[in-house]
Amino acid sequence: MNFKTISLWIFVAIALATLMDTLFSFKTITEEVIYSRATKEQYFNAARNSHTTYKVITANHSFYVDEVFHGTTQPGDRIEIKQSLLFDEINGYKKEGSANYEMSNMRIVSGYASSIAMLLVAILGFQFKNKVNTLVFVTQSLTLGNFIYLIQ
């Protein structure tokens, strides 16, 4: 086995660990909301664009939520949080008694999309060897960046 094959297997292992960490979150925590805040983020460019972010803060966690969840959450409400085992990321959250867990878009991208992309590109890399080197390198770089983001 050469260096390219070994490195591809290493990145497949990282992608699988990230994917499994997102799929299987066995740690469920119930916490009380201390407060929920909305912040208007502005860009200082010619278009003067902006967007609003919504964040829920509990005694031990603070994480971004969508507008609907923010609007229905009050201080003192109890929420259930699904936390990943390997990276301690918030995999899902819901109000206590609610049926459906919600997941942030960043966790979907970092947990599912980047991992699945790496696995698909690895299949191409094993199949076509030297014909997709650039694609493999770019996807490995994204996977490494995602991994660093998760462990920080």
Q: What is the dihedral of CA 143, 108, 85, 9, to 10 degrees?
A: -30
Q: What are phi and psi of 60, to 5 degrees?
A: -115, -10
**Burial class of residue 142 (count of CB atoms within 10 Å of its CB; 0-12, 13-18, 19+):** middle
Give the pTM.
0.83
What pLDDT sits at residue 130? Answer: 82
Q: What are phi and psi of 34, to 5 degrees?
A: -85, -50
The DSSP code for 95 is E
Q: How far apart are CA 29 and CA 68, in angstroms?
A: 21
Contacts of 25 by beta carbon, 8 Å cutoff, 6+ apart: 82, 83, 84, 85, 91, 92
69-78: long-range pairs with CB below 8 Å, 24+: 69/93, 69/95, 69/102, 70/36, 70/38, 73/33, 73/36, 74/33, 74/36, 75/33, 75/34, 75/35, 75/36, 76/32, 76/33, 77/32, 77/33, 78/30, 78/31, 78/32, 78/33
Q: What is the dihedral of CA 34, 27, 101, 120, to 10 degrees?
A: 130
What pLDDT sits at residue 148? Answer: 94
What pLDDT sits at residue 93? Answer: 93
Collect the ranges in the chain with pLDDT lower than 70: 47
Chain segment 21-48, per-residue pLDDT in tens: 998 877 899 999 999 999 998 887 776 7
